[in-house]
Structure 1
């Protein structure tokens, strides 16, 4: 049987290959980075312990004539309080700019453009208690707001399924909605940027074991400093920062479940090329 983490890695690099021709034909822009972050207060449902995790990531963003691509692959490595588990999590989003496709301008108030976002999430984790094998497809409209940098707000439908430990067949949750905001905003003329995302995810019906699910809130925000100059590198090549995650009702688990609330500070470093 193939290693599921290897499958996710192969999927990620296949997506990079697919993004590449679009970017080359349009000759717009692309940014690829390798990063590392670390925290000591991660939380996992049904586990009351603070968990240490090291996370390696590969991220790619690119723009072409009609829209943008974004791909992130995280490799998460837990300490003994989470059974020394390893996890791979792949996220891909494509946003089609409706104004660029139609040749019309969709500007009103603070909105500079209208888009349609679609994508997927895949994960695999080898912890003995749950062993997530998530698949999720995402689609819905996006408002692109007129700010320095970018701020996109999407309302999407989620089609999610999983096949964890003890479940014989892949289980599909109820189709549910997510309100998503993602941003990257420079801090004046300083070599700093404020970045992150906010997801509010509706409850998804019964879980795979027949229990209830709850709406969840997942906020990740970071303040990143461009340290490239000190290393004689091009601007935004090497960045350091602080990151914070607030995740209530993690994975849709009700608030009375131990480990369903995460309040996690992290340190982060990225090399862009």
Structure 2
């Protein structure tokens, strides 16, 4: 009952912030992107996986806050086999939405202190579906918590979020369907940033870092582990080379470090920690 009450509270916070975010945008940035790497990893899989990833991203700001939406479409090679057969790779769609309500803008009073230019309330959700042969994830997650907006060029937001996560996997090896299972409510410390700089050419340092506590027992009765997921990139704004407006075309390199992926301990578990370099390209409009 207590967990259900907490989940309802998170859903209400999300609805309230989303309702605020429905107002007309003061600014917006939408992009489509592509990234590619050959060293992806998945828990209980001992081999490197190649993935092509296409994404649609939208960020916007309005009078009282900001919105962020991202949808990744991930295409694995046959080393991450599909439930349709070992000769084809798995497909995944991962969707994330965050809304940050700026409490200073809502109250009409600046909230600034010690390098912080604003304080907000962030709420949102994650959801995915994947067609891999072993797990077939159907993740659903609500998030809510406070955010500090650090005073840097570009932006750096640091949030402490409570996570309400569940999954309902289907194992095609054993033909076992697991009813939707709620993990323990658990915290995540999140940082997200995009900081421009110039080294003779226009560059930006972008990315996110998630430090996630254990979510208790998994749906099979095993213990889950703390996760560290850091994804960062250096992007070059090449728009001037093709006569386009600033920040229209960006290319760069990316690196992801993900320890204890999805809460699976990497002790004796090949693939539970990923160290993945990538190339990345984006078109903004």
Q: TM-score, normalised to structure 2's length?
A: 0.87
The correspondence for 1:220, drawn from 231, 234, 241, is 231
Does the Cα contact within 8 Å between 2:21 and 2:66 map onto a contact in 1? no
1:130 aligns with 2:128: no
Aligned residues: 253
Superposition deviation, residue 174 in structure 1: 0.2
Stretches of structure 2 lacking an aligned partner (at least 5 in a row): 1-18, 82-88, 171-175
1:157 alignment partner in structure 2: 162
SS of the residue 2:178 aligns to: coil
Change (3 A) 1:174 1:185: same
2:90 alignment partner in structure 1: 85
1:205 alignment partner in structure 2: 216
Does the Cα contact within 8 Å between 2:20 and 2:64 map onto a contact in 1? no
**Aligned equivalents of 1:168, 1:267: Cα separation in 2:** 36
Q: TM-score, normalised to structure 1's length?
A: 0.90
**Aligned equivalents of 1:119, 1:160: Cα separation in 2:** 12
Does the Cα contact within 8 Å between 1:23 and 1:29 map onto a contact in 2? no
Matches within 5 A, 1:1-273: 22-24=23-25, 28-83=26-81, 84-165=89-170, 166-188=176-198, 190-256=201-267, 257-273=269-285
Superposition deviation, residue 168 in structure 1: 3.3
Q: Which moved more, 1:166-175 or 1:39-48?
A: 166-175
Stretches of structure 1 lacking an aligned partner (at least 5 in a row): 1-17
Q: CA RMSD in A?
A: 1.4
SS of the residue 2:24 aligns to: helix
